[in-house]
Amino acid sequence: MNVQVVESVLKLNDDVANSNRQLLQQHGIFTIDLIGGPGCGKTLLIERTLAALRKSMRIAVVVGDLTTARDAERIAAFCTNVVQINTGKGCHLEAHQVRHALDKLDLTEIDLLIIENVGNLVCPVGFDLGQNAKVGMFATTEGPDKPAKYPQLVSAADLLLLNKMDLLHYVPFDLAQWHRDVARLNSHVTVVECSAYANDLAPWLSWLRKQVGTRKNGAVKRHELAS
């Protein structure tokens, strides 16, 4: 019975996620689900990303947190399209919560949607939100063993960020071991080494520009075909 209940919950979530995906696709919005542990640098990454890209693309952010709106308040200094979701005791975002957040946004004015999931390396991985890409985020300060300890995130990710590279020489971090574990778990995943603090984000920003450009061009072509 418990297995059936879990399967039912996940199927309901997947149904809503597929609806989210169709809605976002109709508007040509590229959506990422950003997953990482507390303190890995997700919010600062988003702040730096907004500062770099807000003049060239229209960005919205959905922020998941247990109780506070502190991350959303930080992000609001760079972006007016911010929606806070408080999950209470929930350790992850679910598709229906994202759907409610989408209802608060003007989707015709968005090119890129960033969903900052609740700080957790386990629970968020199993819940589809309707995103185009799962982006996993690790940091050198967390230690090199995190990919091996949390393989589901690595296996599910379309892109992995290794943040806080500016601290590499100050912390005990085996970079080669980290890369070996990632390659063993997901040999096809794109890996970007970066530092949000040092604003060393060029490959990440280039990846976003490429993905958003492809998505918007596809939406234009679909619109032309339908006309």
**Which tokens hold the place of 144?**
């090199």
Distances (CA, A) of 33 to 129, 156, 172, 211: 8, 11, 29, 14
Query: Which residues are CB-contacts of 225 (< 8 A; sequence separation ≥ 6)?
Result: none
pTM of the model: 0.91
One DSSP character per residue, 20-59 reads HHHHHHHTT-EEEEEEE-TTSSHHHHHHHHHHHHTTTS-E
CB atoms within 10 A of CB 193: 18
Least confident range from 6-20, 126-140, 171-185: namely 6-20
The answer on pLDDT for 225 being more than 50 is no
The answer on pLDDT for 3 being more than 50 is no
End-to-end CA distance of the chain: 50
The answer on pLDDT for 14 being more than 90 is yes
**Which tokens hold the place of 146?**
């995190």
pLDDT score for 215: 74
Is-contact 151 185, C-beta < 8 A? Answer: yes
Kindly report the average pLDDT of the chain as a whole number: 92
Phi, psi of 142 (to 5 degrees): -85, -15
Please list the residues that pair with 64 across neighbouring strands: 85
